[in-house]
Structure 1
Amino acid sequence: MEEIKQGNGQFFIGEEANPDAEITFEESGSHTYTITHTAVSDKLKNQGVGSQLVKRVVDYARQNDKQIDPVCSFARKKFEETPSYHDVWKVK
């Protein structure tokens, strides 16, 4: 898999201005990241790239002692399917 890079409020693959895959998030208060969007280009689809991007945000949240509110439907599904993410899931 290609390298996941970090931008301002996002992790992405490819070029930041026109990424091949990206996940965007924003700080919501002092203890929460809200995942707002996940997108993967056709050339990277069905390779687990979206899942890797969600995992990267989870790891980042753990490093920064934050919770995650996965508003994005793809990210929410991954949280529902992955019990190991529940420690950082901010359940409303």
Structure 2
Amino acid sequence: MIKIQQEENGSKGRFVLYENDNFAGKMTYTYAGLDKIIIDHTGVEEQYNGRGFGKDLFNKVIAFARSKNLKVIPLCPFAKKMFDRDETLNDLKV
């Protein structure tokens, strides 16, 4: 079973993915003012590589950004690659 939780602490936040209650990966972000977030890191544990967990985390962040009307600055190379692949996300990118 896969579970993704959001955690926030002030201007920083992250989405953490667990499989069967085991930490599998995270995507971190930082608020840049009131209307933007910077995706600054994506990390998936080596034993979970190739299972789409990075994409699952990315999709959660995108859903969060859309729900809060936030623009996204994809500083993290993985997030930048995901934006580059999907033109439907252009409305979110700064």
TM-score, length-normalised on structure 1?
0.88
Distance apart, 1:34 and its partner CA: 0.3
Distance apart, 1:7 and its partner CA: 1.0
Q: Which has the higher strand share?
A: 2
List alignment gaps of at least 5 residues for structure 2. none
List alignment gaps of at least 5 residues for structure 1. none
Distance apart, 1:87 and its partner CA: 1.6
Superposition map of 1:14-53 within 5 A:
14=18, 19-53=23-57
Looking at structure 1, the residues matched to 56 and 91 of structure 2 have their Cα atoms a distance apart, in angstroms, of 18
Superposition map of 1:2-81 within 5 A:
2-8=2-8, 9-14=13-18, 19-81=23-85
Deviations 1:44-76 (A, max 9, x none): 110111011111111100000100000001100
CA RMSD between the two structures: 1.7
- Alignment length (residue pairs): 88
* 1:84 paired to 2:85: no
Distance apart, 1:19 and its partner CA: 3.6
The percent of aligned pairs where both chains have the same amino acid is 29
Distance apart, 1:4 and its partner CA: 0.9
3-state SS in 1 of match to 2:3 = coil
Output the amino acid matched with 1:71: L
Distance apart, 1:23 and its partner CA: 0.1
